[in-house]
Amino acid sequence: MTQDLAPSVRQAVRPAQQAEGWWRSAVIYQVYVRSFADSDGDGIGDLRGIRERLPYLAGLGVDALWLTPFYASPQADGGYDVADYRAVDPLFGQLSDADDLVREAHRLGLRIIVDIVPNHTSDQHVWFQAALADRREGTARERYHFRPGRGEGGELPPNDWESVFGGPAWTRITEPDGTPGDWYLHLFAPEQPDLNWDNPEVREEFTSVLRFWLDLGVDGFRIDVAHGMVKAPGLPDIGRTEQAKLIGAQVLPFFDQDGVHEIHRAWRQLLDSYDGQRIGVAEAWAPTSERLALYVRPDELHQAFNFQFLTCDWDAPAMRDVIDQSLAATQSVGAPTTWVLSNHDVVRHTTRYGGDDAELGLRRARAAALLMLALPGSAYVYQGEELGLPEVTDLPDEVRQDPAFFRGDGQDGTRDGCRVPIPWEGEEAPYGFGPGGSWLPQPAAWAGLSVAAQAGDPRSMLELYRSALALRRDLPGLGDGEMRWLDAPEGVLAFSRPGFVCTINTGGDEAAMPVPGRPVLASAALAISIPEGRSTGGTVRLPSDCCVWWAV
């Protein structure tokens, strides 16, 4: 059996889903703007490129897109260093392209979520430039965290905080008169000074920025570092090194402080004052699922990324625990759970699951996709995962751009490998990415992984995603709702949803179990033996690393 059992026609969103809140069941596709599609041949993806490829995304069957930052930026951290929150960077187009993109997406039934970066600005932002120029108290510096250094001549950083990208989280400036001056805080690169959210002007400015994009018609925001805006009073020392990684669960004085919730509550009110169910999604790292759930209380944001699921090993009991914890935590506040396997900051899951064994990685990635899309709630798909793209692990150092790579001892510094432009068609790089080259080199093997190479091939990853997304719209039991665990052999997870059962074998060996229903989609070929003269019952031998959807 192969996955061509599924209907291929894209159905409209179910009315019930609409009434409950579209995001509760939505599948949201992450577009890493510089690597999706390039319309002008400069080798960097852009907004017009995305607009031209919207029919592909509508046909894939996702509900919404999340666009990574395309604002005016010196690109010290792939655009997460914003110099002007209301302007489109010329690399990606102009404001009218953003407007056209939103309108065209809506025409095709797709919603658009944009990234907002409130924890820090670029060092080229007018506010930071003004702060450098004017050291008087009560002025521009109070929009950021400026402090005198420690030590006799102020030559030591104000505290022991480390940057997520490595090295101290403080940089000393030179005053306009040429003397060494105060230090400023940057949890990320020195080009990304942290804003001081105790300053009312900062809060007002972001309300205005959010309004700007809401007025343009966007359906919501992915909030970058949503757990970082508020710092512990007095900026206390931590007393140890090896502090913050982007992916982490440590308790730290600069992450997950209670004060951030007040900001999110105010933003929720703003979102609710617009029609059309605009949403806020938290990129928040919290020490526990319970702490994370606080971000999605009824009067706060709508969703938070479930990084616990992303970081879980390929192991049935561990996955079951994470699923249970995630569901319990979000249910306690009435929010939908989200599921995510990859994004632009982590090693692609095909490679995480398979290591050097590409075939194993692909098999598991196929199974993981069906698992994720069968679980209750909303799911995120990172561009290229629907093509089964692996991490590019052999990028030469000269082409790398991730600031973490250059700052060595911080976050692993390998984020360029998941950001390589995706292949659309053709035998040679840039595989239809654009009329020019591509800002990171694409592997030769990607000809076989392009959209054109996979389209119509029932065994391909792309057709598996298309079928799964079409079925997810058709089967009323999927999306938001309940699930119940079923008995299953060791290494297998089985759960039911109304009219539906999902089984996944994460073990290294085939596992036999009673046939739970009629198979509608499988990540690998299945052998089912049904006793002669009967149409139901029998035994299924679930291959290793295989997930199956059953209608019951």
Site size for ligand GLC (CB under 6 A): 10
Give the residue with the Cβ less far from ligand GLC, 221 or 500.
Answer: 221
Strands (E) in 166-206, as ranges, are 170-174, 180-185
Site string for ligand GLC, 394-433 (x = CB under 6 A): ----------------------------------------
Give the residue with the Cβ less far from ligand GLC, 3 or 411.
Answer: 411
Give me the catalytic one of 38, 97, 115, 224: 224
**Residue of this chain nearest to ligand GLC (CB atom):** 80
Which residues between 51 and 80 bind ligand GLC (CB under 6 A)? 77, 80
Please report how close the Cβ of residue 281 comes to ligand GLC at its closest, in angstroms: 12
Tell me which residue has tokens 């089967």.
475
Alpha helical stretches, state H, 126-223: 126-133, 200-216
Please report how close the Cβ of residue 402 comes to ligand GLC at its closest, in angstroms: 8
User: SS3 helix, strand, coil % of the chain, rounded to 5?
Assistant: 30, 20, 50
* Contact call for residue 194 and ligand GLC (CB under 6 A): no
Q: How many other C-beta atoms are found inside a 10 Å radius of the C-beta of residue 19?
A: 8
Among 162, 182, 191, 224, binds ligand GLC (CB under 6 A): 224
Site string for ligand GLC, 270-309 (x = CB under 6 A): -------------x--------------------------
Among 65, 117, 369, 429, binds ligand GLC (CB under 6 A): 117
* Contact call for residue 382 and ligand GLC (CB under 6 A): no
Active site residue 52: no
* Contact call for residue 223 and ligand GLC (CB under 6 A): no
Please report how close the Cβ of residue 44 comes to ligand GLC at its closest, in angstroms: 16
**Is the bond preceding 421 in cis, omega lying within 30 degrees of 0?**
no
Give the residue with the Cβ less far from ligand GLC, 246 or 548.
Answer: 246
End-to-end CA distance of the chain: 17
Instruction: Please tell me the distance from the alpha carbon of residue 64 to that of residue 53, in angstroms, as a whole number.
Output: 14
Task: Name the nearest CA neighbour of 236 among 221, 223, 224, 251.
Answer: 251
Helix axes 358-374, 461-474, angle to 10 degrees: 10
Please report how close the Cβ of residue 79 comes to ligand GLC at its closest, in angstroms: 9
* Contact call for residue 191 and ligand GLC (CB under 6 A): no
Please report how close the Cβ of residue 151 comes to ligand GLC at its closest, in angstroms: 29
Tell how strand 511-514 and strand 220-223 pair up. Answer: unpaired
* Contact call for residue 162 and ligand GLC (CB under 6 A): no
Report phi then psi at 282, rounded to 5: -90, 125
Instruction: Please tell me the distance from the alpha carbon of residue 300 to that of residue 269, in angstroms, as a whole number.
Output: 8
**Contact partners, residue 220, CB within 8 Å, separation at least 6:** 23, 64, 111, 113, 114, 271, 278, 279, 280, 281, 302
Give the residue with the Cβ less far from ligand GLC, 255 or 424.
Answer: 255
Alpha helical stretches, state H, 449-525: 451-454, 461-474
Task: Name the nearest CA neighbour of 28 among 279, 284, 210, 267.
Answer: 279
Give the residue with the Cβ less far from ligand GLC, 117 or 547.
Answer: 117
- DSSP for 407-429 reads T-SSS-S-GGGG-SPPP-SSSST
Among 22, 29, 170, 188, binds ligand GLC (CB under 6 A): 188
CA-derived radius of gyration, the chain: 24
The DSSP 8-state label assigned to residue 14 in this structure reads P
Helix axes 200-216, 95-107, angle to 10 degrees: 50
* Contact call for residue 545 and ligand GLC (CB under 6 A): no
Site string for ligand GLC, 507-526 (x = CB under 6 A): --------------------
* The two structure tokens encoding residue 422: 């995706």
Give the residue with the Cβ less far from ligand GLC, 380 or 431.
Answer: 380
Please report how close the Cβ of residue 403 comes to ligand GLC at its closest, in angstroms: 8
* Contact call for residue 345 and ligand GLC (CB under 6 A): yes
Among 202, 246, 316, 475, binds ligand GLC (CB under 6 A): 246
Give me the catalytic one of 77, 283, 391, 463: 283
Active site residue 258: no
Q: Which stretches of the chain bind ligand GLC, using CB under 6 A?
A: 77, 80, 117, 188, 224-225, 246, 283, 344-345
**Catalytic residue positions, numbered:** 224, 283
